[in-house]
Structure 1
Amino acid sequence: MLAAGDLLTTDGQIEWRGLVLGAGTRYRWVKLEGWNDLPPARGGNTPHPSRHGTYLGRLLGDDRTITVELLITGPLDVFREAVAAVRAATAWTEAPDEDPLVVRLHDQTHMVMARCVRRAIPTDRHYALGLTRAAIQWVASDPRLLRLPAETREVSLQAPPAGGMRFPLVFPLRVGAGGSGGEATLVTTGNAPAWPLYHLRGPVPGPVIDLGGSILAFDPGFVVPAGQTLVIDTRHQAVTIDGTDLSRADRLWTRQWAPIPPGTSTRVRFFSAAGSAGYSPDARLTVTWHHTDL
């Protein structure tokens, strides 16, 4: 099965629902708007009651609107097929969800998850001759551009030194030297924070993930069984098991949700709150993230 962006072969191409637009296709790229731009900002500044200016609040990006203009031309039979393909790729389902929109520029491929909100195919006198200047517009609820392909690191469970950990545990946990494995370095080269996706494969009791000092720690009595995988989506702050909708967020006791800072090397550690008693060589943490740009 093809992954998002696999259909792109050269710069100046766009992939949407299996349709490739732009360089080397029947759809000549005229203009792309909203891709390299900053999205609109939502500021939380509050007016100062007795002085000029405001109190600074959070600055948050709004959704991203992307518009491409295309020139479609060719013999009438080819033209009709090209127009029909655009209409099919941009048609709504009964409950439209976001799909990957992928753009390749200057040897870099980025993706957003978006919905098509507008399609314009003028049907003037040129249309009858096999020529039209079409436009397609998408809105991405998350404005961040995710670089493809994704990065992945696999981390084994930390093998603690003899003696294990002392109970009761006090958070935030501090793990001293002496263990082996259980850590990896995550590197990001984007200009925006990257939110990782964790896949945690058991068996492991009381799993703990430490990303640069930010802790995600589960109830020490919570066990991820052998053969099952816990999925932790840091962007959406969701915890599920084995790809189901069954939430296990209730067992996450310490919730220091954190992204990987941009342009840095950050250490991630994976260990069990049960110490040596919780160690299994089969337990694994897989970290997936994208170099992220704005």
Structure 2
Amino acid sequence: MRLGRGYPVQPVTGRQLYRLDETLVLAVFETVSEWPVLGIETPSADIFLPAFETVSEWPALTLTFDQAFTLPVFESPSEWPALGIVTPILPGANITAPGQVEWNGTLWGTGTAVRVREITGWRSLPPTSNLNVERPSRHGAWAARKIAQQRIVTIKLQVTSTGDPTLIDDLLDELDAVTGLGEDETELPLVIRGYGAPLLAYGAIVDRDVAMDGDWSAGVANVGLLIACSDPRLYSLERHGATIPPNTPTMLANAGNAATHPLIRLEGPAMNPTLTRTVAGATDRAIHFDLTVADGEVLEIDTDAGIASIGSTSVMSALTGSSVPVGDFVLAAGTNTITYTAASGGAAGADFLWRDART
């Protein structure tokens, strides 16, 4: 650097800048944007969290009750299923002429397409168990009671369709439908009428034999039915009923030739009820219960089944030692005098239901 001398500086002329504001209207145009393809990759990871608790907050509930609503008159249509009424079969209701047979409501014989040709085992004495015991040191045997076995009834039928033999199988199908084997031990009513009053027994089909022979080809089928009746007795269609007043000996008649088992109902209130039977002037059997039948309850004694109950509860344990077995309290053939007593109560009496029985 030198003193006393300088270099000339070139002069610069400044230019004033101006700002212009203007609005430009552009024509309609379209912009095209291009984006790269996106790819997302997530790793597979297992995250183990420690035990934790979540706290949920619910808004306060507001309940409104005792509200009265007034509805306008309206109609509600209701649909009800069709009503059906099932009534039990009344044994013998269809029988109108001698020689007819009714099996569980199905009628055979006069007026039907099924002819009854022969019946065996109905009016006959059923097979009998002879309980006599032979004497070891002398002639003969010690006499014992004779007990009837089951009754076996054979019914021979003839199904006829001679007008159109091709319909014979249709008639046999109808017969098959009502003579099949049952699903359980339930026995069905069999009613047969001779020239007198119809008689009733309960049994089950154990055999059905149908011959497909020359007669069958002509529209006539011969059918054999075998019916086993566990109870060999034949009963009257009419079921008798009587009420025994308390402390009043009352005569009940069994018009058959064999003992019959009554159904007995004792209405409460009654304490320690007792029933006695007198035949030919001798009181030979009684049943006594050490219990109280409350007001509104019924003590039902089914002597045929050998049971006694109040409602669905058995009371056989209340039978005293001086009583005969329930199944032995029967109405003998002929006249029976029945007496009903109770330690207290028993004003409603004892209701008896029974049928005449014969072998």
CA distance in 2, matches of 1:43, 1:97: 28
SS of the aligned residue for 2:205 comes to strand
The yes-or-no answer on 1:20 pairing with 2:107 is yes
Task: List aligned pairs for 1:161-172, cutoff 5 A.
Answer: none
CA distance in 2, matches of 1:259, 1:54: 28
Task: State TM-score, norm by structure 2.
Answer: 0.68
120-129 or 24-33: bigger deviation: 120-129
Q: Could you say which structure has the higher strand fraction?
A: 1
Quote how far apart the aligned CAs of 1:229 are. Answer: 2.0
Partner of 2:6: none
Q: RCO (CA 8 Å, sep 6+): is it higher in 1 or 2?
A: 1
Q: Which amino acid aligns with 2:301?
A: I
Bigger CA radius of gyration: 2
CA distance in 2, matches of 1:121, 1:77: 16
Match for residue 356 of structure 2 among 280, 291, 294: 291
SS of the aligned residue for 2:309 comes to strand
SS of the aligned residue for 2:182 comes to coil
CA distance in 2, matches of 1:130, 1:227: 61
SS of the aligned residue for 1:255 comes to coil
Quote how far apart the aligned CAs of 1:156 are. Answer: 3.3
Task: List aligned pairs for 1:198-213, cutoff 5 A.
Answer: 198-212=264-278, 213=283
Report if aligned partners of 2:158, 2:222 keep a CA contact under 8 Å in 1.
Answer: yes
Partner of 1:31: 118
Partner of 1:130: 219
Q: Which amino acid aligns with 2:265?
A: H
Quote how far apart the aligned CAs of 1:85 are. Answer: 2.1
Please list the CA deviations of residues 98-154 of structure 1 after superposition, one character each: whole Å capped at 9, or x if unmatched.
111111222312111111101111122332332111111111111111111111112
RMSD: 1.9
Partner of 2:90: 3
* Structure 2, gaps ≥5 residues long: 1-86
The yes-or-no answer on 1:267 pairing with 2:267 is no
CA distance in 2, matches of 1:87, 1:241: 41
CA distance in 2, matches of 1:99, 1:241: 27
Partner of 1:175: none
Please list the CA deviations of residues 252-275 of structure 1 after superposition, one character each: whole Å capped at 9, or x if unmatched.
11323332221x222212221x2x
SS of the aligned residue for 2:314 comes to coil
Report if aligned partners of 1:153, 1:184 keep a CA contact under 8 Å in 2.
Answer: no
* Structure 1, gaps ≥5 residues long: 159-181
How many corresponding residue pairs? 261
CA distance in 1, matches of 2:186, 2:346: 40
Report if aligned partners of 1:232, 1:239 keep a CA contact under 8 Å in 2.
Answer: yes
Task: List aligned pairs for 1:155-166, cutoff 5 A.
Answer: 155-158=244-247
Report if aligned partners of 1:11, 1:106 keep a CA contact under 8 Å in 2.
Answer: yes
Report if aligned partners of 1:202, 1:284 keep a CA contact under 8 Å in 2.
Answer: no
CA distance in 1, matches of 2:170, 2:251: 49
The yes-or-no answer on 1:141 pairing with 2:230 is yes
Task: State TM-score, norm by structure 1.
Answer: 0.82
Q: Which amino acid aligns with 1:34?
A: G
Please list the CA deviations of residues 212-270 of structure 1 after superposition, one character each: whole Å capped at 9, or x if unmatched.
12211110xx112222222212233211233x4x32111111323332221x2222122
Ranges of 4+ aligned residues in structure 1 off by more than 4 Å: none
The percent of aligned pairs where both chains have the same amino acid is 26
